[in-house]
Amino acid sequence: MRASAICSTSRMTRGSNAAWIFLAGLIVAVTCALRPVCVPLSPEALAGFTTPIETRTDHDFYLQVFQRIDGRWHQCKTWLSRQLFF
């Protein structure tokens, strides 16, 4: 086998590895950015809603924003939404 053939095979492998590493990094970044972050709502915040919280159907990407967890109301958003819009 010629040396140039070995070098070109090595280049293809490096390029392929770089593509897989990039793809894995992209999947991890998207997964982290879209993970849910839920914050409990205070009684004062609950009293300030003009529309009863039980009837709200707000959604953030794939999850319902207002959720009842362990008997308390929480505001759930993706990590990315929390970073960009509080």
Task: Indicate if 6 and 27 belong to the same structural domain.
Answer: yes
Q: Which two tokens stand for residue 61?
A: 């990407």
pLDDT tens sequence across 8-45:
555 567 778 999 999 999 999 999 999 999 999 999 99
Long-range CB pairs of 66-72 (<8 Å, 24+ gap) are 66/41, 67/38, 69/38, 72/40, 72/41
Tokens of 10: 């090595």
Question: Which tokens belong to 20?
Answer: 């897989």
Domain that holds residue 54: 35-86
Q: How many domains is the chain built from?
A: 2
Same domain, 10 and 21: yes
How many CA within 13 A on the CB side of residue 33?
A: 10
pLDDT tens digits, 49-72:
998 999 999 998 889 999 999 999
